[in-house]
Amino acid sequence: QLVVVESGGGSVQAGGSLRLSCTASSSVSIDQYYMAWFRQVEGKDREGIAAIRTGGGSPDYADSLNGRFTLSEDSDKNTVFLQMNCLNPEDTAMYYCAAGWVLSTHSLLPDVYNHWGQGTQVTVSS
């Protein structure tokens, strides 16, 4: 069982930056699982934006990000960081972190994850 906790959302003006954090914890030793970020606007499907296999994997990103977001990992703390730059109002959404043992080819698909955080709101004003 994984417990996932996000932090770092908030409000920012267009062009600004935010950094989201996500920590996964478990009562047993865990490694080489995926941690991923998704976002969802009310009334729309949850969108995968970035994922990484913990323990040194390379991040995967949604094509739509155009290089504005960077996902990094602090493996000692089971924590990943999503650095979001050049934010625009279209980035406004609830951002969710998920964790689990998934196939690399499915890392940005929300349906394959069983462990989710509570979500953190990101609001970008024009």
pLDDT at 121 over 90: yes
Say if residues 96 and 6 touch (Cβ distance below 8 Å): yes
pLDDT above 90 for 82: yes
pLDDT over 90 at 75, yes or no: no
Res 86: pLDDT: 97
Q: Average pLDDT of 98-109?
A: 94
pLDDT at 29 over 80: no
Is residue 117 scored above 90 in pLDDT?
Answer: yes
C-alpha–C-alpha distance, residues 106 and 93, integer Å:
22
Mean pLDDT for 21-45 is 91
> Does 28 have pLDDT greater than 80?
no
17: which DSSP letter?
-
Q: Which residues of 47-67 are buried (b: 16+ CB within 10 A; e: fewer)?
A: ebbbbbbbeebebbbbeeeee
pLDDT above 90: residue 31: no
